[in-house]
Structure formats: structure tokens, C-alpha cells
Amino acid sequence: RAELEPTFRWVASRFGGGHMRYENEVVSAVGDFAYTVGYERGETAVDGGGFQPMTVRVTHILKREDGAWRLVHRHADFAPVDQSVQRGA
């Protein structure tokens, strides 16, 4: 944890407030492990800029320890642009 905490604090420092809502598409738990897959949508400011809309795909992995769920992994990225062939194109 001591080696990772500076990176987590740096990433968090880049975001300046705003409001995000969570839309889970998949939620599953087996024993003491669980995961969620979905989207975070809203507005936030990045690197001191103004508020802008943002949507990211998010996966969370959780582990139950001492009766409480703890986040042990988070991955977020921007969804790729739909590159499917459009009819009539």
C-alpha cells in the first residue's frame, strides 16, 4: 500500500469536484469476492480546467474483509467510438 498510495493520490488530485453517477450493468458476488461493471457519467474538472461531461467504463473488484466490502481493484477507461458499419454508408 505504501508504494501505491502516492500514485492514487496523484490521480485523485487531477480531478476537481463535479458530480458523477454510477450505472452498474453487471453486479455479481461469490463468497467473499464481488465485481461490478458499468459506467460513471457526469461532469468533472480535470487538471484545473472547467467542468466538462465525462463518461467512463468502470470495473470494480471487491473483497469482503472482516464483514466489510473493500475495493481491491478499479479500472476505468473511455469507451471506444462505435466503429460498426452504418447502414446506408
Per-residue pLDDT of the chain (89 residues; tens, 9 = 90+): 788 899 989 988 998 888 999 999 999 999 999 999 999 999 999 999 999 999 999 999 999 999 999 999 999 999 888 767 666 65
Question: What is the pTM for the complete model shown?
Answer: 0.74
Angle formed at CA 28 by CA 23 and CA 33, multiple of 5 degrees: 120
42 DSSP β-pair partners: 20, 54
Q: What is the pLDDT of residue 88?
A: 61
